[in-house]
Amino acid sequence: MNVIDLDLIDFAEAYAIQERLAADVFAGQAPETLLLLEHPPVYTIGSGGREENILDHGVSAVRINRGGDVTFHGPGQLVGYPIIDLGRRSRDLHRYLRFLEEMLILAAADYGVNACRVAGRTGVWTGRGKIASIGVGVRRWITMHGFALNVAPDLAGFARINPCGMANCPITSLSLENGAFVPISDVKARIGARFETMLNAWLPLRRDRDAGAYGRQY
Amino acid sequence: MATEITMPKLSDTMTEGRLVSWKKSVGERVERGDIIAEVETDKANMELEAFASGVLLETRVKAGDLVPVGTVIGIIGEAGEAVAVPPAGAAVREAEAAKEKPIKEIPAEKEKLPPEEPKEAVSPPVQPVEAAEAVEIEKASPLVRRLAREQGIDLKLVKGSGPEGRILQEDLERFIKERESGTGTREQEKAKVQQPPVGGTQPLSRMRAAIARTVSEAWRTIPHFAVTDAIEMGEAERMRRELKEAGTPLTINDLIVKAAAMALAKFPLVNASFAGDGILLHGEVNIGIAVGLEEGLLVPVIKGCQNLSLRETAEKSRALIALAQSGRISETDIAGGTFSISNLGMFGVEEFMAVILPPQGAILAVGAIIDQPAVKDGRIVPIRMMKATLSADHRLLDGLYAARFMAELKRVLENPVVMLV
């Protein structure tokens, strides 16, 4: 599996890279890949999200093919786009979401931050609020999009949306929780180093893609 | 031949999904492999591919709707093909979808269908007949039809609980169960059905398959060890009686859950997950309770046990167990456990060892409370003894730590009044 650091990259550009990688991974022409990056300020809305949850029209908003409602991306937030072939890893979307959460909870724990899941609300939370968002899109069992961990972002960007479609959803960050500035490069390195091992433990790789397009049901 | 598009099961824990949007409209040409719709479960979206080429004849679910897994959400077929099981008013839409072909052709299609029971001499209007006949052949998904075939079941005998009387997999499973237990069975049907021969293979139910996967993973990846302790339950039983008389009904198991929650708070490694390069200590104490069912096992989770009083613990536990037994439990109620308890005491089991539920780190197996002689102050007296066995992940903790946890559990249960403060 590859881990690629794209640094600060425009949303549209990263999206194009994701699309190409997803097609290549499906075709067996590229290894599974984790893209780690930061975006310039942008709002993204999941397919089911509602535009009215964006209260600020000064920043661009993009509608994309992932689950979830609206979220904000900006510098200081570590975004991860794992392009993973779930067709070879159990075909279980919920388990994949739980894996992403677990991975983020461990990342927070590295900085002494006690984060947890909240049942029914995918994402990672602390007592103060949401520290990481998750939204995944899957095409032919290849994953796109992924997670956004607030390391040290300007939280003002969130103030002008209803994150995840919830009014007054409090947002927090690693730096805020930890009390000291957490460098994003440090978090990137830790997640990059841990991701594949954890993925293999949670969603072990099988030799072949299952027959049938949607797994067990067919 | 029309092909049904159903809400796919994208996770073992997925029971329903939301149709986010249709990517094709009714009447539009669809090639196998085309993305026809997008569905959402939790915060993951899946682009749905067509399994067949043809024309999108009908969409039965609209964008934004949440429907159970397996629900037919649309139909792909040839232009002009009669669509099965039209919902109320669908005949009109169907006719619209097929308007490039003359309506007259529909009766021709009808003649191809297998003959049904004799109809009344006077035919009702054409389209309702069409619908009634179609129901006979299309009221179950291909999967259910295949399962029925494998089990030798005539689907006409199965009562469907899905939309428009569709036969769902659950209906089939219930029918099989009833047949096996001898209730609601027709003798003739029973005679027709052959049990798989001894030594033959019986297909796994969904729950069985899920359990098999979970315990295999647990047994393969978690180095289990077990520590058993004997706990005197006389005081706990007395307190339970008193509380019950005072109007707070609770079970021995509720006391064990509460005691475990208190012990877990003092021994966080028992409430933890091993995660490759680290140990995750869970902030919450979420205790799963194994509930045995005829077809397997469910483990509903009592969330936030560290903040629950004994009474609240009992109330939550009662509600969750009832949900599990009725089969109406939601996936959030069985997710997020950090520790589990399996109690076979009510079945007379003295002691046993349970398999840890990943990604949890430990599980407590509780046996029956039995009368036992003990020597107290030089005299032999009867005491009420219960054995409990902790299975723990050795990567997280060692025998000494497990022993201390068990000692704390024992202390709380033997001095149950501490659970009230």
DSSP string, A165-185: G-TT--B--HHHHHSS---HH
Q: Chain A contacts of B18, Cβ < 8 Å? A: 48
Considering B153, B172, B203, which residue would you say is the last residue of a domain? B203
pLDDT confidence of residue B98:
40
The answer to whether residue A218 sits within a structural domain is no
Nearest to A67 among B42, B69, B331 (CB): B42
* Confidence grade of residue B150 (pLDDT, cut at 50, 70, 90): low
Q: Are residues B321 and B180 in the same domain?
A: no
Report, as an integer, the average pLDDT of B364-382.
Answer: 92
- Least confident residue range of B71-85, B140-154, B209-223, B279-293: B140-154
Q: Are residues B191 and B218 in the same domain?
A: no
The answer to whether residue A103 sits within a structural domain is yes
Q: Are residues B165 and B297 in the same domain?
A: no
Q: Are residues B216 and B176 in the same domain?
A: no
Mean confidence (pLDDT) of chain B:
80
Measured between CB atoms, does A137 come within 8 Å of chain B? yes
* Confidence grade of residue B88 (pLDDT, cut at 50, 70, 90): very low
pLDDT confidence of residue B188:
42
- Check B283 against A197: CB less than 8 A apart: no
* Confidence grade of residue A54 (pLDDT, cut at 50, 70, 90): low
Cα torsion through B251, B256, B262, B264, rounded to 10:
-140
Q: Chain B contacts of A116, Cβ < 8 Å? A: 282-284
Highest mean pLDDT among A122-136, B74-88, B181-195: A122-136
Tokens representing B194 are 């052959």
pLDDT confidence of residue B116:
41
**Pick from B231, B268, B281: nearest CA to B409:** B231
The answer to whether residue B235 sits within a structural domain is yes
Minimum distance, in Å, between the CA of residue B55 and any CA atom of chain A: 20
The answer to whether residue B170 sits within a structural domain is yes
The answer to whether residue A217 sits within a structural domain is no
| Strand partners of residue B108 | none
How large a percentage of chain A has pLDDT more than 70? 86
Q: Are residues B362 and B291 in the same domain?
A: yes
- pLDDT at B127 exceeding the cut of 50: no
- Check A95 against B282: CB less than 8 A apart: no
pLDDT confidence of residue B210:
83
Chain A residue closest in CA terms to B63: A48
pLDDT confidence of residue B397:
96
Residue range of the domain that includes A42: 2-204
- Check B12 against A95: CB less than 8 A apart: yes
pLDDT confidence of residue B297:
86
- Least confident residue range of B100-109, B153-162, B168-177, B322-331: B100-109
Q: Are residues B266 and B411 in the same domain?
A: yes
Q: Chain A contacts of B64, Cβ < 8 Å? A: 48
Residue pairs between chains A and B whose CB atoms are closer than 8 Å: 125
pLDDT confidence of residue A136:
93
The answer to whether residue A81 sits within a structural domain is yes
The answer to whether residue B106 sits within a structural domain is no
More confident residue, A35 or B212: A35
Chain A residue closest in CA terms to B279: A106
Considering B203, B221, B247, which residue would you say is the last residue of a domain? B203
Determine contact, residues A208/A19, Cβ cutoff 8 Å: no
Q: Chain B contacts of A123, Cβ < 8 Å? A: 43
Task: Put residue B357 in one of left, alpha, beta given phi > 0 → left and psi -120 to 50 → alpha.
Answer: beta
Task: Put residue B85 in one of left, alpha, beta given phi > 0 → left and psi -120 to 50 → alpha.
Answer: left
Q: Phi and psi (nearest 5°) for B393?
A: -80, 115
| Strand partners of residue B273 | B280
pLDDT confidence of residue B361:
96
Report, as an integer, the average pLDDT of A42-61.
Answer: 74
* Confidence grade of residue B81 (pLDDT, cut at 50, 70, 90): low
pLDDT confidence of residue A124:
93
Q: Are residues B221 and B199 in the same domain?
A: no
- pLDDT at A33 exceeding the cut of 80: yes
The answer to whether residue B236 sits within a structural domain is yes
Cα torsion through B33, B38, B44, B46, rounded to 10:
-10
Q: Are residues B321 and B388 in the same domain?
A: yes
pLDDT confidence of residue B52:
85
- Least confident residue range of A121-125, B19-23, B120-124, B250-254: B120-124
Q: Are residues B149 and B236 in the same domain?
A: no
- Check B6 against A194: CB less than 8 A apart: no
Testing the interface with A: which of B6, B9, B39, B45 to mutate, by most A Cβ within 10 A?
A: B45
- pLDDT at B189 exceeding the cut of 60: no
More confident residue, B231 or B13: B231
CA pair distance A190, A163, nearest whole angstrom: 26
Mean confidence (pLDDT) of chain A:
86
Minimum distance, in Å, between the CA of residue A95 and any CA atom of chain B: 7
CATH code assigned at A143: 3.30.930.10
Active-site hit among B206, B208, B318, B394: B394
Report, as an integer, the average pLDDT of B244-265.
Answer: 93
The answer to whether residue B73 sits within a structural domain is no
CA pair distance B217, B209, nearest whole angstrom: 12
Q: Are residues B284 and B389 in the same domain?
A: yes
Q: Are residues B152 and B270 in the same domain?
A: no
* Confidence grade of residue B117 (pLDDT, cut at 50, 70, 90): very low
Report, as an integer, the average pLDDT of B118-139.
Answer: 38
- Least confident residue range of A110-114, B80-84, B301-305: B80-84
- pLDDT at A50 exceeding the cut of 60: yes
Q: Chain B residues with CB-CB distance to A under 8 A?
A: 6, 8-14, 18, 20-21, 35, 38, 40-47, 49, 51, 64, 69-70, 143, 206, 209, 221, 273, 275-278, 280, 282-284, 303, 331-332, 335-336, 359
Considering B152, B180, B203, which residue would you say is the last residue of a domain? B203
CATH code assigned at B344: 3.30.559.10
CATH code assigned at B150: 4.10.320.10
Number of domains forming the structure of chain B: 2
Minimum distance, in Å, between the CA of residue B189 and any CA atom of chain A: 27
* Confidence grade of residue A163 (pLDDT, cut at 50, 70, 90): low
Helix (H) or strand (E) holding B244: helix B234-245
Residue range of the domain that includes B414: 211-419
Chain A residue closest in CA terms to B32: A213
pLDDT confidence of residue B153:
73
Number of domains forming the structure of chain A: 1
Q: Chain B contacts of A95, Cβ < 8 Å? A: 11-13
Testing the interface with B: which of A47, A64, A134, A147 to mutate, by most B Cβ within 10 A?
A: A47
pLDDT confidence of residue A168:
61
Active-site hit among A164, A174, A187, A203: A164
Is A164 designated active site? yes
pLDDT confidence of residue A165:
64
More confident residue, B69 or B170: B69
Measured between CB atoms, does A50 come within 8 Å of chain B? no
DSSP labels for B163-199? GGGPBPHHHHHHHHHHHHHTTT--HHHHHH--PPPTT
More confident residue, B413 or B127: B413
pLDDT confidence of residue B87:
44
The answer to whether residue A212 sits within a structural domain is no
Q: Chain B contacts of A216, Cβ < 8 Å? A: 9, 206, 209
**Pick from A46, A50, A17: nearest CA to A148:** A46
For residue B53, CA distances in Å to A95, A217, B5, B28, B57 come to 32, 20, 12, 11, 11
- Check A65 against B45: CB less than 8 A apart: yes
Minimum distance, in Å, between the CA of residue B157 and any CA atom of chain A: 23
Measured between CB atoms, does A12 come within 8 Å of chain B? no
Report, as an integer, the average pLDDT of A192-216.
Answer: 73
Q: Are residues B286 and B337 in the same domain?
A: yes
Determine contact, residues B79/B109, Cβ cutoff 8 Å: no
- pLDDT at B126 exceeding the cut of 60: no
Measured between CB atoms, does A166 come within 8 Å of chain B? no
Minimum distance, in Å, between the CA of residue B409 and any CA atom of chain A: 26
